[in-house]
């Protein structure tokens, strides 16, 4: 393992602890690149909405700053396998319990790549990607095979951080948090069925009343989490305002 990989792994352990608890329902939250944390506001919003499950923070940052984290948030990041292992052990411990993944910015790259590493038969219930910097052109097929219900992704053309940044891990294409996820160019019936789980939550002016002004980190505002995000992960039935990217 390289020196950088060891540093990242050590920093992750410092941030998140051993994460030995294997109880559900549980939400696993990943911050974005650098030092900003939306963990407390996301937790506050979920609790105010009535969510009673455990909420844990999964650390992955190298603590070297936003740019190194952003550029390294690809499939080879050492914490990708750690997260996949955490999800696998959790699901095997509680086969019917709810598991939700929430990622912010470059942390969404770690989330998606970890889902792609899961064994057959292991899945989470919901995935929420806040201001995702992973590429809008990333093929989500393998990740979606490990999601039972839906994947939500916020996007805003007013996200000035993503407007000036390449996609996380330098995958190519605009970040999904600016333009929303796109359907694959080769779109088979099997992929179409999987992509019915994907819902782009594009910014609307009314979201400003709940704290998301279209900016990058304000998508973690506790009011936005409480009013918009929490109802979508606390009910197995599709939200009445949802429309998958296949339907648009």
Q: Is the pLDDT of residue 12 over 90?
A: no
Please give the residue that has the higher pLDDT: either 10 or 164. 164
How many CB atoms are closer than 10 A to CB 59?
23
Domains in the chain, CATH or no CATH each? 3-15+22-233 (3.40.50.1820)
Residue with the larger pLDDT of the pair 20 and 200 = 200
Cβ partners under 8 Å of residue 120, min gap 6: none
**pTM for the full model?**
0.91
CB atoms within 10 A of CB 2: 8
Q: Which helix (H) or strand (E) holds 199?
A: strand 198-202
Q: Within a 10 A sphere around the Cβ of 42, how many other Cβ atoms?
A: 28
As a whole number, mean pLDDT of residues 68-80 equals: 90
> Within 10 Å of residue 61's Cβ, how many Cβ atoms?
27
Mean pLDDT score, 163-191 = 89
pLDDT at position 13: 46
Calculate mean pLDDT across residues 58-82. Answer: 89
Q: How many CB atoms lie within 10 A of CB 240?
A: 6
- Render pLDDT for 146-155 as a digit per residue (tens, 0 to 9): 999 999 999 9
238 DSSP 8-state letter: P
Provide the residue count of the chain: 248
pLDDT (0 to 100) of residue 178: 96
Q: Which two tokens stand for residue 63?
A: 């603590």
């Amino acid at each position: 393992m390289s020196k950088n990989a060891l540093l990242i792994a050590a920093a992750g352990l410092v941030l998140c602890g051993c994460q030995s608890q294997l109880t559900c329902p549980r939400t696993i939250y990943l911050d974005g690149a650098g030092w900003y944390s939306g963990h407390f506001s996301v937790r506050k919003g979920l609790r105010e909405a009535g969510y009673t499950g455990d909420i844990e923070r999964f650390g992955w940052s190298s603590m070297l700053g936003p740019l190194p984290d952003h550029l390294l948030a690809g499939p080879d990041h050492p914490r990708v396998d750690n997260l996949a292992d955490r999800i696998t052990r959790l699901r095997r411990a509680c086969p019917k319990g709810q598991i939700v993944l929430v990622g912010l910015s470059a942390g969404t790259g770690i989330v998606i790549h970890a889902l792609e590493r899961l064994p057959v038969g292991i899945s989470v219930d919901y995935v929420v990607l806040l201001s995702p910097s992973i590429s809008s052109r990333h093929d989500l097929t393998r990740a979606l095979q490990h999601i039972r219900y839906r994947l939500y992704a916020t996007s805003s053309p007013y996200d000035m951080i993503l407007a000036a940044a390449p996609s996380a891990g330098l995958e190519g294409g605009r970040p999904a948090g600016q333009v929303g996820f796109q359907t694959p160019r080769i779109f088979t019936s099997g992929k179409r069925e999987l992509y019915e789980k994907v819902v782009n939550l594009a910014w609307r002016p009314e979201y400003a009343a709940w704290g998301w002004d279209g900016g990058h980190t304000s998508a973690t505002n506790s009011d936005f989490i409480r009013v918009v995000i929490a109802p979508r992960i606390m009910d197995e039935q599709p939200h009445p305002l949802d429309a998958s990217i296949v339907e648009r």
